[in-house]
Structure 1
Amino acid sequence: MAEQTVQGPDPRDGLVYDMSDDLRTAVEVALATDRPLLLSGDPGSGKSSLAPYHARRNGMRYYEHVITSRTRATDLLWTFDSVRRLADAQAHRGRLNDGDYVVPGALWWALAPESARSRGGLLSPAHHRDPSERFLHREERPSGAVVLIDEIDKADPDLPNSLLVPLASHEFTVGETGTLVRREADAGPPLIVITTNGERDLPQAFVRRCVTFTLPGPTHEGLVRIARLHLRHEKRKISDSVHELVVALADELMRARETAGLGHQRRPSTAEYLDALRACLTLGITPGDPRWLLLRSLTLAKPAEAGR
């Protein structure tokens, strides 16, 4: 009977990551310069997984915001529910506390968590939990914060430029309440990780203010190492047959990437390699199985029309 996996394909829990020396240096440079780390690379190459891994490994608070085409720069700082406030004003006809309608964004929590709890001093902080508490599960007070701003290239071009000042000065003003938010001394220096898939060019003024690093494509050796890391984390026994499966799938992915490159198609990623491995382990598929070629086309060598 095939074994069942114990977690989803992208739990974003920071427990498993293959950290190269070059990437570790890039993180150190970003922290030393107090600049955001702008990560580029193919989809599925592990850009988004770096931030929670660094946070967990170093006992830091962790926040994230996934960018969409509708995201505004202020969404990363705060949002204000003006519709609910108007409805309450019409219903109560009394004086309202604007703090009740302010929701701190990821950067506010990272820079000034005490201010975020109290909505800039407008509310009692006792009733507002730090979102990072769901991630760390630690009793001790974490030092510093990591913020993931994911897929910034999906945003309107004005968004990166609108973030230049708050990212550089570590302060901003909440427009609806006039609250000045500044980085708190006890909050520690943040590591801000910004990812891009290269779907849209970013403003040069924004890129100049970042430490930039491009994750390289997968190698055969790297795929095998990553697979073994995940298998050990999932407490699987890495038998000879499992190792042979890991190697065979790495062979398949590298061949699929080479073929895709010749045809100017999208190359399969490390994430898809792990999908294929989990499917094989769960369904009992091996290289000699009649389903092997179908599995390859479902997970690795996906036809070009699948992306149309």
Structure 2
Amino acid sequence: MPDRRDGLAYVMSPKLELAVDIAYATGRPLLLRGDPGSGKSSLAAHIAREKDARYYEHVVTSRTQAQDLLWTFDTVRRLADAQLGRPVKDHDYVEPGVLWWAFARRSAARHATDTESNSSRLPTHSVVLVDEIDKADPDVPNGLLTPLGSNQFKVTETADEVRLEEGSHLVIVTTNEERELPQAFLRRCVVVWLDHPDADGLVAIARKHLDTYEGGMTAPDEELARELAESVVELRKEMEREASRPPSTAEFLDALRACRELGITTSSPQWRELRDMALVKQQSGG
């Protein structure tokens, strides 16, 4: 089932609810750790919906710089305009990043080429997702320490001071553990590991998705979800013993959708192949 990033179908564990409350209470970023497909990236949109907050998202890549989350400066366009003899003002080439929008929406709107509609009526509270920060160089989290700690930064090219204007914000950062994060960054975050749900948790997640997007969970749907959930739990144990990557919650939902669409159950002849394709995903043949 695709991740719609709409915040509608999310089941929060008590531990995760507490972590969110602690992040709000301390004003610290919330760092979500865990395997891919465990629901880390979906949480921010859910919190934004629950809090009626503005939502911003930045997906980190290997080329991301810390400044990209604050602002970017279009040097190429500025040079082209200067060569054509057009008037050049540095403010015209600044594009606010997600943290600028979160800290100071009105200030960001004055610089943005794509201004938020009805900006005067938008909520003062915001939620920011910084997704997969472990893909970036360690300089990126280190470069965000001061802005995240002080809620302010200076735009180098224009000397503008960006400060928190109003309301509050929550920054949610995710990592897939592909690269170790700097200790200085970890110390300044509220950190929680998203554990794999047990069978009951998986069924609850399936029910939430089916109720939200498919018109509800029928009795046969629940029976199927229970069968798949118990199979996934056993498969996780088996794969962990073999030091293999266990199936994620997202893969469980994919398998459930495929079984529903194709009329396959765990007792069907096609189940083993579906399991291998949607859950095990072996790296080699055999």
Deviation at 1:150, TM superposition (A): 0.7
Conserved in 2, the CA contact under 8 Å of 1:218 and 1:269? no
After TM superposition, the structure 1 stretch with the greater mean CA deviation from structure 2, 292-301 or 46-55, is 292-301
Q: Give how far 1:193 is off.
A: 0.4
* 1:139 to partner: Cα distance: 9.7
In the alignment, the residues of structure 2 paired with residue 305 and residue 172 of structure 1 have an alpha-carbon distance, to the nearest angstrom, of 49
Alignment root-mean-square deviation, CA? 1.9
Aligned residue type for 1:129: T
Q: In the TM superposition, what whole-angstrom CA distance separates every residue of 1:102-148 from its partner, at most 9, and x where no partner exists? A: 111000000000000002xxxxx7x7422xx6xxx999531310000
Instruction: State whether structure 2 residue 36 is matched by structure 1 residue 43.
Output: yes
Quote the Cα distance in structure 2 between the aligned partners of 1:10 and 1:234. 12
Q: Distance in 2 between matches of 1:175 and 1:23?
A: 37
Task: Give the aligned partner of residue 84 of structure 1.
Answer: 77
> Which whole-Å CA distance do the structure 1 matches of 2:272 and 2:120 have between them?
49
Q: Which amino acid aligns with 1:149?
A: V
Counterpart in 2 of 1:52? 45
SS in 2 for 1:286: coil
Report the residue type matching 2:54 in the other structure.
R
Partner of 2:17: 24
8 Å CA contact 1:118–1:128 kept in 2: the answer is no
- Aligned residue among 229, 241, 246 for 1:267: 246
* Contact 1:161 1:203 (8 Å CA) reproduced: yes
Q: Give the structure 2 partner of residue 190 of structure 1.
A: 169
* 2:140 equivalent in structure 1: 159
CA distance in structure 1 between the partners assigned to 2:178 and 2:243 by the alignment? 16
Alpha-carbon distance in structure 1 between the residues aligned to 2:38 and 2:171? 18
Cα contact 1:40–1:195 (8 A) shared by 2: yes
SS in 1 for 2:31: strand
| Equivalence for 1:238 | 217
Give 1:219 shift.
0.7
- Whole-Å separation in 2 of the counterparts to 1:30 and 1:143: 18
State the 1:286 CA deviation: 2.5
**Mean alpha-carbon deviation: is it higher for 224-233 or for 212-221?**
212-221
Q: TM-score, normalised by structure 1?
A: 0.88
- Which 5+ residue runs of structure 1 have no aligned equivalent? 1-7, 120-124
Percent of paired sites with the same residue: 54
Instruction: Give structure 2 stretches of 5+ with no counterpart.
Output: none
CA distance in 2, matches of 1:276, 1:236: 19
1:293 has 2:279 as partner? no
Alignment of 1:1-308 (within 5 A): 9-91=2-84, 93-119=85-111, 128-130=114-116, 141-185=122-166, 188-305=167-284
AA in 1 matched with 2:139: D
The 1:247–1:234 alpha-carbon spacing in structure 2 relative to 1, beyond 3 Å, is same
1:156 maps to a residue whose letter is D
Amino acid at match of 1:112: A
